[in-house]
Amino acid sequence: MKDRDFGFATRTVHAGSRPDPTTGARALPIYQTTSYVFEDTESAAAYFNLQEYGNTYSRIMNPTVAAFEERVANLEGGVGAVAFASGLAAQSAVLFTLLRPGDHVVTSSALYGGTVTQFKHVLGKLSVKLDFVDPDDMDAWRAAISPDTKLLFAETIGNPGGNILDIEAIAKLAHDHDCPFMVDNTFATPYLCRPLDWGADIVVHSATKFLGGHGTSLGGVVVDRGDFDWSNGRFPVVADPSPAYHGLQFHETFGVYGFLMKLRTETLRDLGAAMSPFNAFLLAQGIETLPLRMRQHVANAQVVAEFLSAQPGVVKVAHPGLATSIYRPLVEKYLPEGTGAVFCFDLPGGRQAGSSFIEALTLFSHLANVGDAKSLVIHPASTTHRQLSDEELARAGIATGTIRLSIGIEDSNDLIWDLQQGLDACESNS
């Protein structure tokens, strides 16, 4: 049994969680504590010098959070993970860990609006240069890379346009230039796609979404594949002696765990965006049903997308699982089990049509989240992508009449009934 290669569904339930050795409790305990008693002064000093690994303070590590981290790393195929208070906190921590003023990042333009804002403004404040490129255009990726480029970034499934990323091709391009490639895998989850298997170096999730699955808890997580050469001369912030630890060289000392140790013991420690133990417990509970939920999400989304595609009052449906999608070859390669539950469609009447449609719905909740067991709806140009310019909205595939859906696990015929109410309202108000 110990040598068995357990299946994905088995690992969603068991990875990172063992019966409590003290009480025998089978459910993951919530270690709601700020700090930990040290065995003696020598062991305390060893922990703080990173000579031994152990719990010191819950801003840096916590047993409940560690169980969540281990579960996600196991499912993504990484050597380890570090959890954060939110997806954007996880993402920004990677940037702070890798980059210095003057460095350059190349990123897809088909991104969540909060990510675009974070990259444009936070990286700008740090004097990091940035180029957005069409994620479908390999020549654009190639042309944007410069000698200062230190990171390539994209989403597995673009938010909200549904672009499917050619992960293997972009990973190879990144590695040809001695750069790591980071992928936001929130929409796909490791159930549908594991970017590390296709060459990505770092995966980031907003665990708030499908991993948790119930809209109750914020969280983010970073997973590292563990084999990028941080000592290639281009990443002194990871490889060179750290003044914060008396000259400790993270990559040389910790090997495959070097980046994660730097991320945890410096960036997480100093920025402080720690995941709470209670949120880690709830998110780990959510992962236990991830395969069941994702199968229903995918099936429902496909039915809804096909319904909308047949409606005369809909201009276009950007669901990559449709037979007419330009992404079919990439879907078959990277997402054979389905393309997730989030997609958008366009109404011809612009913002007014979007408002009429949303206000006529009953089952769909109008809110700024995705990945919930409940079906959700929003008008991106007014909300999640409101800070983007018209040009940036166009690059992200968002029009004034674009509606984003996150399809839940309800009965699909009930969802179609509700969407028909919205379409009827648009027609009556046109």
Sorted by where each begins, the domain ranges of the chain are 8-286, 291-429
Compute the average pLDDT of residues 171-188.
Answer: 98
For 336, half-sphere exposure in the C-beta direction (CA atoms, 13 angstrom radius) is 2
Q: Give the pLDDT confidence score for residue 384 in this predicted structure.
A: 64
Compute the average pLDDT of residues 276-297.
Answer: 98
Q: Give the pLDDT confidence score for residue 231 in this predicted structure.
A: 95
Q: With CA atoms as reference, report the closest residue to 232 among 98, 408, 338.
A: 98
Say yes or no to pLDDT of 1 above 60: no
d(CA 99, CA 121) in angstroms, rounded, equals 15
Say yes or no to pLDDT of 290 above 80: yes
Residue of 296 and 244 predicted with greater confidence = 296
Q: Give the pLDDT confidence score for residue 260 in this predicted structure.
A: 97
Range with lowest mean pLDDT among 52-56, 169-173, 348-352:
348-352
Say yes or no to pLDDT of 270 above 90: yes
pTM: 0.94
Say yes or no to pLDDT of 2 above 80: no
d(CA 103, CA 150) in angstroms, rounded, equals 6
Compute the average pLDDT of residues 49-64.
Answer: 91
Tokens, residue 188: 């796909």
Q: How many CB atoms lie within 10 A of CB 225?
A: 23
pLDDT cut 70: percent of the chain above it = 96
Compute the average pLDDT of residues 296-318.
Answer: 96
Compute the average pLDDT of residues 252-277.
Answer: 96
Domain 8-286, CATH: 3.40.640.10
Burial 59-93 (b: 16+ CB within 10 A, else e): bbbbbbbbbbbbbbbbbbebbbbbbbbbbbbbbbb
pLDDT tens track for 344-399? 999 987 778 888 899 999 999 999 899 999 999 998 777 666 666 677 766 666 77
Q: Give the pLDDT confidence score for residue 246 in this predicted structure.
A: 87
Compute the average pLDDT of residues 311-326.
Answer: 93
Q: With CA atoms as reference, report the closest residue to 232 among 184, 182, 183, 176.
A: 176
With cut-offs at 50, 70 and 90, classify the pLDDT of residue 159. confident
Compute the average pLDDT of residues 328-339.
Answer: 97
User: Which residues does 59 contact at the CB level (< 8 Å), separation at least 6?
Assistant: 268, 269, 272, 274
Q: With CA atoms as reference, report the closest residue to 242 among 47, 44, 49, 45.
A: 49
Question: Using an 8 Å Cβ cutoff, are 187 and 44 in contact?
Answer: no
Say yes or no to pLDDT of 311 above 80: yes
d(CA 202, CA 194) in angstroms, rounded, equals 11
Domain 291-429, CATH: 3.90.1150.10
Say yes or no to pLDDT of 16 above 90: yes
pLDDT cut 90: percent of the chain above it = 79
Compute the average pLDDT of residues 73-90.
Answer: 98
Q: Give the pLDDT confidence score for residue 11 in this predicted structure.
A: 95
Mean pLDDT of the chain: 93
Compute the average pLDDT of residues 63-84.
Answer: 98
Q: Give the pLDDT confidence score for residue 430 in this predicted structure.
A: 62
Packing angle, helices 350-359 and 412-429, rounded to 10: 130
